[in-house]
């Protein structure tokens, strides 16, 4: 059991590894049970949302790719190659966008559950409540939902910026990756920060202030989110682990744990 104090120096290095976070979850049955429930709900909501989003996107622009251009003459081949390239670009980008839209929906709806998971993990980690911590309540759940919607709005903006930046060779792709890394960190910081009723601006400031730690927290989730097909499964499976990992590091970085 860990105890926390803002004045005492940490007895161990401030960074908590992902492996430690995984062992921490399996140490407590309540954390395991809640994690399994959240995995199921996040996975189902994301899959349903992604399926619906793709059907909508395909119904709107799918006709353009229903019939390839004629290739009866050699001068028509460049047109066919261009059409094929645009089609593949459309497939990749549309599925990435659909996944993020669906995942943002699932994220917003399950935010109170992940806040509660973070709350339980923090209680086990620190051993006691601290000054400034909010208690779990109906009004608090509504606040958590509102904050989740705000972060989802930031995610929509990030997706639009990433979509535009993706058309810039090399630099654009690097920028897109960094956008998703830091946005992923922001998503997970939302859960432990909600314990102290932080507003969106303060969460953004935290990510800016702790850029190195935020990069480490968001790197793996961002990489997983870019894996075609399996991103929904992996993100749903690992989201509770990332939540606990971020919670423990947040408490450690904020000087609340020793």
- H/E/C letters for each residue in 60-76? HHHHHHCCCCCCCCHHH
Structural domain contains residue 89: no
Query: What distance in Å separates the CA atoms of residue 25 and residue 125, rounded to the nearest whole number?
Result: 11
Q: How many CA atoms lie within 13 A of 163 on its CB side?
A: 16
Residue 11 pLDDT: 45
Structural domain contains residue 241: yes
Residue of 186, 190, 195 whose CA lies nearest to 121: 195
Structural domain contains residue 220: yes
Q: Is the pLDDT of residue 54 over 70?
A: yes
Q: How many CA atoms lie within 13 A of 123 on its CB side?
A: 14
Residue 55 pLDDT: 75
Residue of 70, 2, 9, 72 whose CA lies nearest to 255: 9
| pLDDT tens column, 4-18 | 443 344 444 478 999
Query: What distance in Å separates the CA atoms of residue 147 and residue 151, rounded to the nearest whole number?
Result: 6
Summarize the confidence of residues 36-41 as an average pLDDT: 92
Structural domain contains residue 63: no
Structural domain contains residue 249: yes
Phi, psi angle pair for 130, to nearest 5°:
-125, 165
Q: Token pair for residue 63?
A: 């006709």
| pLDDT tens column, 102-122 | 777 887 788 888 988 998 998
Which ranges of the chain would DSSP assign to H, the alpha helix? Answer: 18-26, 29-61, 77-126, 138-165, 171-194, 200-209, 211-225, 231-253
Structural domain contains residue 114: yes
Looking up tokens 């102290």, which residue turns up? 196
Contact at 8 Å (CB) between 121 and 31?
yes
pTM of the model: 0.74
* Banded model confidence at residue 38, pLDDT cuts 50, 70, 90: very high
Domain count, the chain: 1
Structural domain contains residue 199: yes
Look at 60 and 245; give whichever has higher pLDDT: 245
What is the extent of the structural domain holding 195? 18-43+98-253
Structural domain contains residue 87: no
């Amino acid at each position: 059991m860990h105890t926390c104090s803002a004045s005492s120096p940490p007895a161990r290095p401030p960074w908590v590894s992902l492996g430690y976070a995984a062992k921490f979850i399996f140490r407590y049955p309540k954390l395991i049970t809640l994690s399994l429930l959240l995995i199921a709900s996040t996975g189902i909501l994301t899959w349903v949302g992604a399926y619906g989003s793709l059907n909508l996107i395909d119904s709107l622009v799918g006709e353009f790719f229903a019939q390839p251009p004629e290739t009866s003459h050699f001068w028509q081949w460049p047109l066919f190659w261009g059409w094929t390239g645009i089609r593949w670009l459309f497939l990749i980008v549309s599925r990435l966008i659909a996944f993020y839209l669906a995942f943002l929906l699932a994220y917003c709806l399950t935010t109170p559950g992940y806040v509660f998971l973070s709350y339980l993990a923090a209680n086990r980690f620190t051993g006691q409540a601290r000054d400034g911590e909010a208690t779990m309540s109906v009004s608090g759940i509504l606040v958590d939902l509102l904050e989740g919607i705000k972060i989802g709005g930031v995610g929509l903006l990030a997706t639009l910026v990433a979509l535009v930046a993706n058309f810039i060779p090399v630099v654009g792709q690097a920028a897109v990756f960094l956008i998703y890394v830091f946005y992923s960190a922001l998503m997970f910081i939302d859960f432990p920060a909600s314990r102290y009723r932080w507003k969106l601006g303060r969460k953004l400031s935290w990510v800016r202030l702790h850029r190195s730690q935020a990069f480490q927290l968001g790197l793996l989730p961002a990489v997983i989110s870019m894996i075609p097909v399996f991103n929904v499964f992996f993100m749903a499976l690992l989201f509770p682990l990332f939540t606990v990992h971020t919670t423990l590091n947040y408490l450690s970085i904020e000087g609340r744990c020793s």
